[in-house]
A and B are shown apart, each in its own frame.
Chain A
Amino acid sequence: MNTHTIIDKQEAKAVNTGAKAQSSLYAAHEKVFPKRAEGNFRKLKWIIMAITLGIYYLTPWIRWDRGPFAPDQAVLLDMAHRRFYFFFVEIWPQEFYFVAGLLVMAGVGLFLITSVVGRAWCGYSCPQTVWTDLFIKVEELVQGDRNARIKLDKQPWSLRKLSLISFTHFIWLAISVATGGAWIFYFADAPTLLKDFVTLQAPFIAYGTVAVLTATTYLLGGIMREQVCIYMCPWPRIQAAMLDEDSLVVTYNDWRGEPRSAGTKKAAAAGLAVGDCIDCNACVAVCPTGIDIRDGQQLECITCALCIDACNGIMDKIGKPRGLIGYSTLRDYNHNMDIACPDATDEVWGRIDPARVHKPGGGFIDGLKHFDWKIFFRARTMIYMGMWSLIGIGLVFLLLTRDRLEVNVQKDRNPVAVKLSDGSIRNGYTMKILNMMPEPRTITLMIDGPPGASMTIGEMEDVKGRSAEIPVEPDKLRALHVFVTVPGQLAVKGRTDFRIIVTDKQSFETDTYKAIFEVPENMQ
């Protein structure tokens, strides 16, 4: 053991314990000043932040050639024309079930991830966490680490304090504007909109959206921070319900840490039992929600794992094995606590005896449970995985087999039928031909029955007979009012089924609608 290592004890106290000592119905907000953490999880979080922010800011700028009749933006939610473009996929409003399917997949995926690694969404990829993390980094770069920030906060206002604080807020606002600004590019051609935006030519809604998102980003990421997670967000309540005893959660392993002691050697010399925790409070100091993980699993814990990094650093320094705070399952934890606690009852664990788990020369006794990959493959995760995959396969199948030509028909109901002067009966139909390809097409419209019927189209002068060639613009719907007329002597009272068929002779794509020709009983 390195006897020369000096570990600073952090002046840190969990913010959610202060309230327990007072009896007011309302608690004053205690500021949290998270200390910079270093370690593997911190690195992982930087990588995830780079990826998620990269996706968010850059996606609208990716180009994707769709030919001359469709926009070339890879991801575009074109509200005005009611189209959603996603790389090689184009979605019309009635195909929105693809998006619904993706949302269901996202939901099941969240169940899966939560059942395996707990609130990983909260800790790593939730926008609230990502932006707060970024804002805390800015704060740290401008004002210094935890202690410097606490000192600055306590100082009376001075020019230096004012300039440091206002510079921090200035950068926050700049990030917020960029965040709100990036959002609007998903809804219009990004380069055009950027040009319009800076030359004040963009629509009001663009400025309004940027203003609102700037305000929320600044407020939620800069000012509210952990208050959002603790008081405003429903996820902590929901996600906690998805955990079971085999889910990995950030855990303080009391069975090896307790009894904690700041003066380990003195305590050991006095013959007291000593655990691995030296009560340095490093885990509390780095916590972005300001809690003490040693109080156990709490609603406030977003499982960002920074306390693991902080504690592992300390363990390395004092030459003890890592993992005093680590990802652990409740099952493993209970197993190990059973070994460590000689007086455990059904209600309380009682006293922890470190000698029952530690070997005298260092290390742990055999028979303790540690992380095992097998917990990833249990019935619950397999079922979630199966559901997720089935929905995914279903969506891909639908995507590959979906129609790009469609006919929607609505029969005139007022009047149902019209008798013409020569005694023939006419029915009217509003037909909508959907050309969902980004190229102009000529669609053949055909009626198969009823006997003797012929067709005229209000919008097209020269149509007669049973079929017509209809030019439809690229990626557009063409609505026509079509009249089907049956000579009086051939008209059958009641309803006659017939088919309306649209065909693209080039691609042989076709769609059929089963229609009804109706002659009311009281006609003729």
Chain B
Amino acid sequence: MSGNREIDQLSGVDTTGHEWDGIKELNNPLPRWWLWTLYLTIIWSIGYMVVYPAIPGLWGAEGATKGIWGWGSRADLRTQMTTVEQGRQAMNDKIATMDINAIMADPEARNFAVSAGASLFKVNCVQCHGSGAQGGPGYPNLNDDSWLWGGKPEQIVATLENGIRVAGNPDTRDSLMPAFGKDGLLEPEKINQAANYVRQLANLEHDAGLATAGATVFAENCASCHGEKGEGNQDLGAPQLNDAVWLYGDSLEAITTQVQTPRHGVMPAWKDKLGEGKVKALAAYVLSLGGGQ
């Protein structure tokens, strides 16, 4: 090699012999230890591939070589989740034994319960009640102060624990509104009169003549559950009719439809699925939305 040596005159440095358009590449040699660091990284990468999952497409269901340390991101997640669960266990057990009112009065317990409830809500409740608990037609808005089965803390806990209209659960919230139209209990014009009266109760636009007639229909057929002035009955899950909140809408058609063929909402019982601590956490979260009583 020394025979081919060419020294650049200006810098006194060897050239590598490479030349492009008259520009010669100088050879300012890299320190040899730097080369060793390259070899070290190569050795490191081989060790890494042996120890950790590395080569895809060769192995089993998860698709990559396993690595002799048995590390995997799924197993790692499981471990982390277990650790998190264990970390929460003590607080969860504590709120399970506390009364919901006591939880709401204790800043530490309330803080834990509301945060835990918020994440539980996202997993278990948003499918029907919406991500902001704002509900929708047929699904109650949990932010407001209108409650079918009661908005007191212990009433919310009870509704959560045993659900609504859960078949085979003796403690579940249950009631049934007769299908006045479909089963022929009331003639269509009487239903129309009653619907107009209901809109009068709620201070909505209505036909005064029909409403006057509807008052009698209401007193005879509806007042036993919904109350004489439409104030509702939370023991029966009978909605308040003289307020501004409507589960299936406040239009004449919506009210008429509900009298003719009533729809009945259901909600699963959560006590057995989540346990008492998590049910109370959910109740605390719902109460934190500001509508509780």
Contacts and interface: CB of A to CB of B under 8 A. Distances in A.
Interface stretch (B22-30, B80-88, B168-176): B22-30
A412 B291 CA distance: 15
Interface string B123-135: 0000000111110
A421 B245 contact: yes
B3 to A, nearest CB: 10
Interface string B272-293: 0000000000000000101100
Contacts of A415: 130, 132-134, 141, 143
A382 interface: no
A27 B29 contact: yes
Interface in A1-48: 19-20, 22-29
A414 interface: yes
Given A420-B145, A420-B244, 10 more contacts: A25-B30, A29-B32, A414-B132, A415-B132, A415-B134, A419-B244, A419-B245, A423-B244, A458-B290, A459-B110
Given A23-B5, A23-B14, A428-B290, A418 B28 contact: no
A422 B30 CA distance: 81
For chain B, give the interface size range: 35 or more
A393 to B, nearest CB: 44
B34 interface: yes
A422 B143 contact: no
A23 to B, nearest CB: 5
Contact of A23 (B27, B31, B131): B27
Given A227-B33, A420-B244, A456 B2 contact: no
Contacts of A422: 243-244
Interface of B: 1-2, 5, 12-14, 16, 27-35, 107, 110, 130-134, 141, 143-146, 240, 243-245, 288, 290-291
A481 B141 CA distance: 18
A236 interface: no
Interface centre among A423, A458, A483 (most CB of B within 10 A): A458
B31 A24 contact: no
Contacts of B33: 29, 227
B132 A23 contact: no
Nearest to B202: A423
Contacts of B130: 414-415
A490 to B, nearest CB: 14
Given A414-B134, A419-B144, A26 B32 contact: yes
Nearest to A17: B12
A426 B34 CA distance: 67
Given A415-B134, A419-B144, A458-B288, A19 B243 contact: no
A421 B34 CA distance: 76
A421 B27 contact: no
A120 to B, nearest CB: 26
A420 B292 CA distance: 11
Nearest to B15: A23
A402 B107 CA distance: 32
11 contacts: A23-B14, A26-B29, A26-B32, A415-B133, A415-B141, A418-B143, A418-B291, A421-B146, A421-B240, A422-B244, A456-B290
Nearest to B26: A20
Interface string A228-255: 0001000000000000000000000000
A420 B134 contact: no
Contact of B27 (A25, A423, A426, A458): A25
A481 B288 contact: yes
Nearest to B141: A418
Pick the 9 closest A-B CB pairs, nearest first: A414-B132, A421-B243, A415-B134, A423-B244, A27-B29, A418-B143, A421-B146, A26-B32, A415-B132
Interface in A203-237: 227, 231
Given A25-B30, A414-B134, A488-B244, A20 B14 contact: yes
Given A415-B143, A418-B291, A420-B245, A27 B134 contact: no
B29 A25 contact: yes
B132 A20 contact: no
A419 B110 CA distance: 25
Given A23-B2, A415-B132, A458-B288, A421 B32 contact: no
A44 B110 CA distance: 63
A226 B145 CA distance: 74
Nearest to A424: B244
Interface in A450-491: 456, 458-459, 481, 483, 488
A29 B29 CA distance: 11
Contact of B290 (A24, A27, A231, A426): A426
Contact of B32 (A28, A413, A481, A488): A28
Nearest to B12: A20
Contacts of B28: 19
Contacts of B31: 26-29, 227, 231
Interface string A471-514: 00000000001010000100000000000000000000000000
Contacts of B34: 26, 231
Nearest to A19: B29
Contacts of B16: 25
A139 B291 CA distance: 76
A109 to B, nearest CB: 32
Nearest to A23: B14
Contacts of A227: 31, 33
A421 B244 contact: yes
A222 to B, nearest CB: 15
Contacts of A483: 290
- With most chain A CB atoms within 10 A of its CB, the pick from B145, B288, B290 is B290
Contacts of A426: 143-144, 290
Nearest to B104: A461
Contacts of A22: 14, 29
Contact of B144 (A421, A459, A481, A488): A421
A20 B168 CA distance: 92
A27 B13 CA distance: 13
A26 B240 CA distance: 88
Nearest to B240: A421
Contacts of A421: 144-146, 240, 243-245
Contacts of B1: 23
Nearest to B36: A26
Given A20-B14, A481-B290, A420 B146 contact: yes
A20 B133 CA distance: 76
A26 B243 contact: no
Contacts of A423: 243-244
Contact of A420 (B5, B13, B14, B144): B144
A23 B131 CA distance: 71
B131 A418 contact: no
Nearest to A415: B134
Contacts of A419: 144, 244-245
Contacts of A481: 288, 290
A521 B2 CA distance: 87
A502 to B, nearest CB: 21
Most buried by B among A22, A227, A414, A421: A421
A415 B110 CA distance: 22
Contacts of B134: 414-415, 418
- Of A20, A423, A481, most buried by chain B (CB within 10 Å of CB) is A20
A499 to B, nearest CB: 22
